[in-house]
Amino acid sequence: MAILEIVLEGDPRLRQKATKIKTVDGALRRLAADMRETMLAAPGVGLAAPQVGVTRRMIVVHLPAGYAEEGDPEIDWTLINPEIVRAQGREVDQEGCLSIPGWVGDVARADRITVKGMDLDGKGVRIKAEGWAARVLQHEIDHLDGILYVDRLEPDTTLRRVSDLVDEDALEDADDEDRPEPMVDNSAAHRSDETAA
Ligand SMILES: [Zn+2]
C-alpha cells in the first residue's frame, strides 16, 4: 500500500465529472487500499478518487466508533459508482476538505440518505446513513461530479480558518480534557457540540 498525493483545489481533475467504473479488478482494489491508507494518514474521514488525481467514481469513508454518539459503530466503506437514491431532511453543519486544507464552512446537507453502489467484490450494495455519516457520503459523492463544498456554502457565511477555531476552543475549553479535538478532514470538520443542534 502507499500514501498517495492529495490533489488541491485549483487542479482541474477536482472539477471533472468522474467516469463510471465498469470492472472491479486488482488495480482498482489496490487503488482503494491506497486511498484508504491516504485518508487515514491525513487524517480524514473520507476521500474520493479525484482527490488522488484519478477521475473515476470511487470513494472511501471511515468514521471511528462513537463518532457522533457513544455506541455508534465504526464505519468503513469503500463504494464504487455510489449514487444517492433517497434523501430526506436538512441540516447545516461545518465541513472541511483535504483538498482545501486549513478552512471550514457551513453547508446544508440532507440528514438521511440511501446510497446504492458496488463493493470491491463487484456486488451491489445499499447503504442507509444519517447525520454525520450521511454528510460525509454527500461530500464525497459531490467530488465525483466535480463539486466542492465551497460551492455549497450557506448564504451569508464565509470560510473560517481552522487555526482560529482551534484557538477559540483552547481558550473556552482549557479544562475539558474529554473534549475531542476538532476533526478537520476531508468531509467534516466535526465538533461534538455542533451535531446535537
Ligand atoms: Zn473533500
Query: How many A from CA of 45 to the centre of ligand 1?
Result: 10
113's torsion region: left (phi>0), alpha (psi -120 to 50) or beta?
A: beta
Query: How many A from CA of 137 to the centre of ligand 1?
Result: 10
Cell of 126: 445499499
Cell of 72: 455508534
Query: Which candidate in 5, 95, 140, 172 is catalytic?
Result: 140
Distances (CA, A) of 139 to 1, 27, 33, 45, 70: 25, 25, 20, 11, 24
Average pLDDT, the chain: 89
Indicate whether 74 pLDDT > 80: yes
CATH of the domain at 174: 3.90.45.10
pLDDT one-digit tens code per residue, 169-194 = 555 555 544 444 444 444 444 443 33
Query: How many A from CA of 65 to the centre of ligand 1?
Result: 21
Contacts of 159 (CB under 8 A, 6+ apart): 103, 104, 105, 150, 153
pLDDT one-digit tens code per residue, 79-107 = 999 999 999 999 999 999 999 999 999 99
Residue 155 phi/psi, 5-degree rounding, is -55, 150
130 in active site: no
Which pLDDT score is estimated for 188?
A: 46
Inside any domain, residue 55: yes
Query: How many A from CA of 99 to the centre of ligand 1?
Result: 6
Inside any domain, residue 99: yes
Inside any domain, residue 1: no
Tell me the residue range of the domain where 153 lies. Answer: 12-195
Residue of 64, 63, 55, 43 whose CA lies nearest to 135 = 63
pLDDT one-digit tens code per residue, 32-55 = 999 999 999 999 999 999 999 999
Entry pTM:
0.86
Inside any domain, residue 39: yes
Which pLDDT score is estimated for 1?
A: 83
- What's the domain count of the chain? 1
Inside any domain, residue 2: no
| Cα–Cα distance measured from residue 30 to residue 26, given in angstroms and rounded to the nearest whole number | 6
Cell of 120: 470491491
Q: List the beta bridge partners of residue 103.
A: 161
Which pLDDT score is estimated for 183?
A: 47
Q: What is the DSSP letter of 37?
A: H
